[in-house]
């Protein structure tokens, strides 16, 4: 299964748990899945339990390292500023994301964390991968909340 499909499956599972449908996957240098996660903010009562952070933490624990310089992160939504900064701290090689987030994004929108002078590491960034599908998950989730 391709990485974005895995991330989308994590997002769908998050939605079923009542979480904002965002999923993330960390890939090792050989493309193997090291960790995968969906949002768990509501479940854990933890505002930082975003899919990206959960997957990055799990991959780092698995590898026994605080840095993942040869790893890629695939996520269904443009990371927020908190997650973008964490991606920089974990030294991720490549970030691939699905839907753009003009309101809360921190990569191509808003804070543009990787462009800040205080950012010590900028990964390669590829946005818009399966953007329509990832965006539709979010739109459907929030339409059901209104």
Report d(CA 74, CA 123) in Å as an integer.
12
Report d(CA 146, CA 141) in Å as an integer.
9
Which of 52, 108, 124, 133 is catalytic? The answer is 52
Closest Cα to residue 24, out of 51, 46, 62? 51
Residue 59 phi, psi dihedral angles, 5° rounding:
-65, -40
Task: Answer for the pair 50, 22: CB distance below 8 angstroms, yes or no.
Answer: yes
Residue 37 phi, psi dihedral angles, 5° rounding:
-160, 160
Would you call 19 a catalytic residue per the annotation? Answer: no
**Residue 75: strand pairing partners:** 24, 97
Active site residues: 52
């Amino acid at each position: 299964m391709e990485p974005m499909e895995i991330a989308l499956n994590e997002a769908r599972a998050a939605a079923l748990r009542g979480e904002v449908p965002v999923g993330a996957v960390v890939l090792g240098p050989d493309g193997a899945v090291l960790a995968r996660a969906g949002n768990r903010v509501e479940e854990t009562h933890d505002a930082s339990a975003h899919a990206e952070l959960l997957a990055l933490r799990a991959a780092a624990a698995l590898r026994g390292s605080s840095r993942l310089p040869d790893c890629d992160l695939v996520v269904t939504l443009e990371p927020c500023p908190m997650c973008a900064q964490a991606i920089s701290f974990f030294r991720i090689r490549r970030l691939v994301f699905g839907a753009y987030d003009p309101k809360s994004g921190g990569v191509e929108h808003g804070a543009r964390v990787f462009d800040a002078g205080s950012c010590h590491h900028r990964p390669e960034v590829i946005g818009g991968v399966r953007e329509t599908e990832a965006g539709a998950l979010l739109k459907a989730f929030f339409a059901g909340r209104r």
